[in-house]
Structure 1
C-alpha cells in the first residue's frame, strides 16, 4: 500500500479491498438521509413481508397478469400456428411469402402488447426492439425485411413457448388462490353443508358408510389455518411464476444484446466526440488568451527593445528583462496546458505519482493511498488518463465547493475493475444530476463502461466513487 500525505494525515482509511459492493458507498436509494438511514415504515410497511404480501397491490397485479396471460396466449398461439402452417403450406406458391410476413408482423404486434402488459402489471421495463429497416420502398422490401428480422422470429417463438407456460401458470395460480381463500373462509360458509347439502361439513375422506367431515370447532379452525398458509404462500408462488414470464419477455421481446450494445456505443461515441470538441475549444481558448497573447506582447517588447538598443541601451536592457519575465510566464502556462492535455508524469511514472502530483496542488490537505496491486501492472493508457482527470476534477471540486479541511484519495483494483474513491469532510450536498460538473464526469465515465456514484448528504461528508474497466474492451 503506497501512502502519500499532503498537509496532515487524514483519519479516514478505506479498509475494504478486493470484493467491492455498492453498499460500501451507503444506501444509494437513501441518498439525502445521512448514513443511508432507512425511511420510517408506515401503514402496511410495519407488517412482515410474508404477512402483508397477500394484500399488497403487487400480489394482485401479478395474479392479474397470470390470469390474463392464459386467454391472450391462446389467441397468440392460434394466430401463430395457423398463419405459420398456412404460410409454410403455401410456400410452393408465392402466396406463402406474404402470409409468413403477416404472421411475423402479427407476432410483433402481440409482442408490443406483452411489453405494455409487463410494464403495467409487473413493473418490467423492456426496451423496444430495433425497428424494421427495409432496403427500399414497396411491399416486397417490407416483406423481405420482416422475414430477415431476427426480432420478428423471436416474437414468433415467444408465441409458441408462452402458451404451454401460461396454461401451467394459470392452473397453478388458480389452484393455490381458490384453495387458500376457500379453506381460509371455511368458518364463514361451513353452515351451508348441514342446512342445504345434507351433510355435516366438508368431507375430508371416506365413503357412504365411513366418512370424516370437518365439522367440529377444532377441525374448522385447523382448516382455516391451513387455508391461511395457502393464502400467505400464494403471492410467492405467483411471483415465482411471473419470474419466468419476466425472463421470457425480456429475452424474447426486448432488443437483442447486440442491438443494445450498438445503441450504447452510438451514445458513447456522441459523448466522446462532444468531450473531445469541448477539450479542443478549451485548449484553443487557453492558447489564445494565455500563451499566445503573451508571445505577441513578447514580440512587440523585443521589437521596441531592438529600436532602443542604440539610442537608450539602459531602457533596452530593462525592456529585455521584462521580456525575459514574459517568456518564463508563457513557458509556465504552456506547461500547465500540456499537463491538462496529458501530464508527462503519468506517462513516465504511472498513476500513483500523477495523483500525488495532483494532490500536492490541492488547497485542502490530501492523503493518497494506492493499493500495491495497482502498482504491479498498469491499466490501459486511456483508462489511466481518465482515472487521472477524474481524480483531478474531483479534487478541484473539493477545493472550490466543499469547504473541507481534509480529503483522501483511495485507489485499488477489484478483479478487472479500477476503483477510485475521493472522500472529504466538507458540507456535502453534491449531486451528479442536472448539468453539474459531476454529471459531465459521469457521462465521460459511462462512455468507457465506467460508473460514478455520489454519496453526499446535505450535512456531509462527501464520498465519490468511480469504477473503471482495467482494460478498455
Structure 2
C-alpha cells in the first residue's frame, strides 16, 4: 500500500511547487486553495493508514478554507498545516521507496540463502506448509521497517505543540467572547424585566397610594379600596422579583441541589419526562456555576420540546464521571430543530462555552432530537 502512495507523493512534489510558483505571479491564485485541499485529503488518508497500523489516532489541525477567494488564499498560505504537509511529501516519497526496496531485498536474499543452507529436507517441510527458519526473521524485519515509516509519518503530520496551543488560545478567546456576549444579553434581559415589569408596577403603586392619601379624609371607603389594590400590586411585584431572581440563580438549586431541581422541572412538564440521574455522590456538590448552567440547559431543552417539537414523550439523563457532567435531553418529536430560529439553543451554546464545555445538537427531520451537553466539573 505504501508504494502507490509514494508514487502519488512523488507527483505531488512537483505539483505543489509548480502551483506555488504560478501563485506567486498571481496566475494560479484561484487554484492554490484547491491544491491545498487535495494535499490535505492525501495527508489525511495517510494519517488514518499510519494510525491504524500503529493502533493510535493521529489528529489533524487546519485552518478552514472558507470565505472569499482572497480569504481562502490567505488561509491556505498562512496555515502551518499546509507547509507541514508539503514537507511530508518528499519525506514520504523517499522513505517509502527506500524501505520498500529494503523489504524486497530481504525477501529476495533471505529466502534463497535459507533454501541453500537448509537443503532438501527443509524444502520438503515448506511444501507441507511448515515455514522456513528465515521467514520469521524477514517478517520481523519487514514489520520493523513498516513501524519506522509509520512513525515518521505520524511525527511529520501530527500538529505541533505550538499550533495546538494557538488553537487552544483561539478556542478560549472565542468562548470568552461568547461568555461576555451571554453575560451582556443576560444583563439586558434583567434590566428589561425590571424596567418594563417591576418598575412600571411600582410607579402604578405609587400613584394609587398617592390617590389614597388624597381621599383619606373625604372618602375612607375609596381609600381602603385603593390600598387593597396597592397591596395586591405589591404581591405581584414580589412575584415578579422572585421570577427575576430565579432566572439568575434558581433558589431550588440551593434548596434541593441539581438532582432535586431537575426532578421538579420534570414534574412540572406538560410532556412526560423519563428522568435518569446518575451522579456520583462524593460528599460535595457541583460548583454553583455548573449547577446553574446544567439547570438552565435542561429547562431550556424542556421548554423547546413543549413549544416546538410536538413530542409525546421526552427524556433527561445526566451523569457525573471522570470530572465531567454529561447532560442529554431527547424527545420523539418532529425534529428539524434550528438553533438560529429563536429556540434558545444559541444561548445554551454560549452558556456552555463560557464554562469550557461542549454542546451537540442532533435533530434530523422527522426526529428524534437529542441535545448533548458536556460540562467540566472537577473530579
**TM-score normalised by structure 2 residue count:** 0.65
Deviations 1:257-300 (A, max 9, x none): 32222111111110000000000000001111111111110111
For residue 346 of structure 1, the aligned residue among 230, 253, 257 is 253
* Residue 442 (structure 1) shift: 2.5
Contact 1:383 / 1:471 at 8 angstroms: preserved in 2? no
Determine the C-alpha separation between the residues in 2 that align with 1:176 and 1:446: 51
Q: What's 2:43 paired with? A: 122
Determine the C-alpha separation between the residues in 2 that align with 1:445 and 1:262: 17
Contact 1:127 / 1:255 at 8 angstroms: preserved in 2? no
Q: What's 2:9 paired with? A: 66
1:251 match: secondary structure: coil
Q: What's 1:167 paired with? A: 94
The structure showing larger relative contact order (alpha-carbon pairs under 8 Å, at least 6 residues apart) is: 1
Alignment of 1:2-401 (within 5 A): 62-68=5-11, 118-123=39-44, 126-127=61-62, 166-172=93-99, 244-245=152-153, 247-252=155-160, 255-373=162-280, 376-401=283-308
Determine the C-alpha separation between the residues in 2 that align with 1:255 and 1:434: 38
For residue 316 of structure 2, the aligned residue among 401, 406, 409 is 409
Note closer, same or farther for the CA distance 1:457–1:262 as it changes in structure 2 (3 Å cut). Answer: closer
Contact 1:368 / 1:409 at 8 angstroms: preserved in 2? yes
Q: What's 2:327 paired with? A: 420
Worse-superposed segment, 337-346 or 367-376: 367-376
* Residue 454 (structure 1) shift: 2.5
Worse-superposed segment, 284-293 or 257-266: 257-266
Contact 2:3 / 2:96 at 8 angstroms: preserved in 1? no
Alignment of 1:437-456 (within 5 A): 437-456=344-363
* Residue 362 (structure 1) shift: 2.7
* Residue 373 (structure 1) shift: 1.4
2:217 match: secondary structure: helix
* Residue 66 (structure 1) shift: 3.2
Determine the C-alpha separation between the residues in 2 that align with 1:441 and 1:247: 38
1:371 match: secondary structure: strand
* Residue 324 (structure 1) shift: 0.9
| Equivalent pairs, count | 295
Determine the C-alpha separation between the residues in 1 that align with 2:215 and 2:370: 60
Note closer, same or farther for the CA distance 1:386–1:65 as it changes in structure 2 (3 Å cut). Answer: farther
Determine the C-alpha separation between the residues in 1 that align with 2:235 and 2:37: 66
Note closer, same or farther for the CA distance 1:71–1:426 as it changes in structure 2 (3 Å cut). Answer: closer
Determine the C-alpha separation between the residues in 2 that align with 1:333 and 1:315: 27
Note closer, same or farther for the CA distance 1:435–1:176 as it changes in structure 2 (3 Å cut). Answer: farther
1:418 match: secondary structure: strand
Note closer, same or farther for the CA distance 1:292–1:168 as it changes in structure 2 (3 Å cut). Answer: same
Determine the C-alpha separation between the residues in 2 that align with 1:347 and 1:442: 24
* Residue 445 (structure 1) shift: 1.9
Q: What's 1:222 paired with? A: none
Determine the C-alpha separation between the residues in 2 that align with 1:357 and 1:323: 32
* Residue 344 (structure 1) shift: 1.7
2:198 match: secondary structure: helix
RMSD: 4.1
* Residue 333 (structure 1) shift: 0.7
Contact 1:298 / 1:326 at 8 angstroms: preserved in 2? yes
Structure 1 unaligned segments of length 5 or more: list them: 1-53, 76-111, 129-150, 178-203, 207-236
Note closer, same or farther for the CA distance 1:377–1:369 as it changes in structure 2 (3 Å cut). Answer: farther
**TM-score normalised by structure 1 residue count:** 0.53
Contact 2:3 / 2:97 at 8 angstroms: preserved in 1? no
Note closer, same or farther for the CA distance 1:367–1:336 as it changes in structure 2 (3 Å cut). Answer: farther
